Amino acid sequence: MNTTGAALLLCIAFAMLAADTFGAAAERRRVLVYTRNYVTNGKGYVHENIPFAVDAIKKIGSESGFDVDVSEDPAVFTSDNLKKYAAIVFCNSNNEAFETVSQRDAFRRYIRGGGGFVGIHSAAGSEREWPWFWQLLGGKFHHHPKIQPLEIRVVEADHPATRDLPSTFTWEDECYFLDNLNKKTKPLLVVDPNKVDDSKKKEYPGDDRFGNAMPLAWYHEFEGGRSFYTSLGHKKEHYQEPILVKHIRGGILWAMEKPANSELIKPEATEK
C-alpha cells in the first residue's frame, strides 16, 4: 500500500472513531433538578439541604452516566426544553412550582409523553392547589411531627430504589403524613404510624387506614410516564448517607426508563 493510501485509511479510521464518540455523547441522558420554593407572601419554608441534595444528585449522575441541570426558574418548563430530559427531579421544592398555565401544561405534556418524575422530601408540598400534581406525586403534604428515629421497613425489595437497602433500618427524619393519596401507587418503604410520636394523629389520619404500614416512599406509572417519590431527606447530612443515596439513585434510574406503552396525551389548556 502506498503512503497516500495508508494516510487515507488512517483518516477514515479517525473519522469513524470521532463519529462513534460524538454519537455516544449525543445519546447521554440528562436530568433536570428543580428546586423552586416560592409563595406570594414570602413566608414559605426553604430547606437548607437543597445544595447538599443537588451535589448528591450530580455525583449520582456522574457515577451513573447521566448529566444534571439545576434550576429554580419555572421558565424552563416549555415543551421544547423538557424534551432534553429523561427525568425531572423536584428536589426539596415547595409551594408554588409554576407561574403560568402554559408551564403546567408543558410539564403535564412531558409526563404524558413518557417523561419521568422524581419527588424528594418536601416536593410533596409543591403545587398545593393542583390536584393533578398530587396524583402524579402520589399525595399532598398534610403535616409532620418532630424529627425522631423511625423504624422503616422495605416492602418491595426488588425495586431499584430498595434493592441495595437493608430490609429494616432506623432512620432519623421527619415522618411525612400525606393526604389526597393516589391509591394506585406501590409502596416501597413503610413505617408503623402507631409508633410515631405525633400529637396530630387524631387530626390526620384519624383512623386505622394505614394499619402498621404507612408508606414513606412509593412508585407508579402515571398517564404515560413514571413517578417515584420518597419523603426521606430532611437533614443536609442525609445526602451523604449511603442508604439515602442508593435509594435516590435507584428511584431516578427507574424513573428515567420510558414505559413501553407510553403515549402522548394532549392536555386541555384549562385542565386542573
* C-alpha cell at position 63: 457515577
pLDDT computed for residue 178 by the predictor: 98
The domain over range 30-62+74-256 is classified in CATH as 3.40.50.880: yes
Which amino acid is located at 127 in the chain? E
Cell numbers given for 186? 406501590
- What type of residue is 94? N
Q: How confident is the model at residue 2 (pLDDT cuts 50, 70, 90)?
A: low
Which of these ranges, 45-49, 187-191, 208-212, 235-239, has the smallest mean pLDDT?
Answer: 45-49
Which of 11-15, 43-47, 132-136, 202-206 is least confident?
A: 11-15
pLDDT for residue 232 is more than 50: yes
Q: Confidence band (pLDDT; 50, 70, 90) for 268?
A: very low
Buried b / exposed e over 260-270, threshold 16 CB at 10 Å, is eebeeeebeee
CB of 31 closer than 8 Å to CB of 67: yes
Q: Lowest-confidence range among 79-83, 218-222, 255-259?
A: 255-259
Domain range summary for the chain, segments of one domain joined by +: 30-62+74-256
Read off the pLDDT of residues 35-67 as tens digits, 9 standing for 90 and up.
999 887 777 788 999 999 999 999 999 999 999
According to DSSP H, which parts of the chain are helical?
Answer: 3-26, 50-64, 79-82, 101-112, 131-137, 242-256
With beta carbons less than 8 A apart as the criterion, state whether 227 and 251 touch: no
- Whether omega before 205 lies within 30 degrees of 0, making that bond cis, reads yes
Pairing of the two strands 29-34 and 168-173? unpaired
pLDDT at 214: 98
**pLDDT (0 to 100) of residue 186:** 98
Please tell me the total number of residues recorded for the chain in this structure.
272
The pLDDT score that the predictor gives to residue 40 is 77
Higher pLDDT: 28 or 192? It is 192
pLDDT value at 1 more than 70: no
Give the angle 31-32-36 at the CA atoms, nearest 5°: 155
Give the DSSP per-residue string, 22-42: HHHHHT-EEEEEE--EE-TTS
Q: What is the spatial distance between Cα 265 and Cα 89, in angstroms, rounded to a whole number?
A: 21
How high is the pLDDT of residue 44?
77
Q: pLDDT tens for residues 60-112?
A: 999 999 999 999 999 999 999 999 999 999 999 999 999 999 999 999 999 99
